[in-house]
């Protein structure tokens, strides 16, 4: 009887989904590249996360995951996350450095965190293991211009999917 009560309590608290998966960004299972983000301040740009509007790549070294997004957008030319994490491992509140560039400048902040909800093996292609990573992130301070001049860049909460790995 106790196990049934625990089961139903779990269902009431977490919806049978294992906790916070309700916060997981919604991307089609087949999508391997996408970024939803809005930046304001030094310039303004918004991306909707649709596949085909951005090219993505990622790589890992022990203790670090890097995901790079290159949108087909004249204002936002690159968005890069360097996450404290391991290949194939999900996690919450992972410390993250974010860099954003446009055609004329580069901004960066280390005051960001990422939640990785999914990080799974997809296939081996051309001798490289391909993974799919889905998550969301937030930055608590604006990104500063690398040369220390100019306006800061506010990075709104963002969601991503990336599935092409270089290493």
Residue 72, pLDDT score: 86
Q: What is the pLDDT of residue 53?
A: 76
- Enumerate the domain spans of the chain: 25-162
* This prediction's pTM: 0.83
Q: 3-state secondary structure string, 2-61?
A: HHHHHHHHHHHHHCCCCCHHHHCCCCCCCCCEEEEEEEEECCCEEEECCCCCEEEEEEEE
pLDDT per residue rounded down to tens, the chain (167 residues)? 444 443 333 333 333 333 456 688 999 988 889 999 999 999 999 999 886 678 999 989 999 999 999 998 878 999 999 999 998 999 999 999 999 999 889 999 999 999 999 999 988 888 888 899 999 999 999 999 988 888 999 999 999 999 876 64
Torsion of CA 60, 122, 138, 152, to 10 degrees: 60
């Amino acid at each position: 009887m106790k196990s049934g009560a625990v089961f139903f309590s779990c269902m009431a608290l977490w919806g049978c989904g294992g906790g916070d998966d309700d916060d997981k960004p919604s991307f089609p299972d087949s999508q391997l590249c996408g970024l939803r983000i809005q930046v304001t301040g030094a310039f303004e740009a918004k991306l909707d996360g649709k596949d085909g509007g951005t090219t993505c790549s990622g790589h890992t070294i022990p203790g670090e995951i890097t995901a790079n997004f290159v949108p087909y957008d004249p204002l936002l030319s690159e968005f890069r996350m360097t996450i404290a994490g391991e290949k194939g491992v999900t996690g919450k509140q992972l410390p993250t450095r974010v860099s954003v560039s446009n055609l004329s400048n580069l901004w960066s902040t280390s005051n960001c965190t990422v939640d990785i909800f999914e990080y799974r093996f997809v296939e081996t292609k051309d001798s490289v293991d391909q993974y799919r990573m889905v998550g969301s992130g937030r930055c608590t301070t604006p990104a500063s211009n690398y040369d220390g001049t100019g306006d800061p860049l506010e990075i709104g909460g963002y969601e991503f999917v990336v599935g092409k790995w270089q290493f």
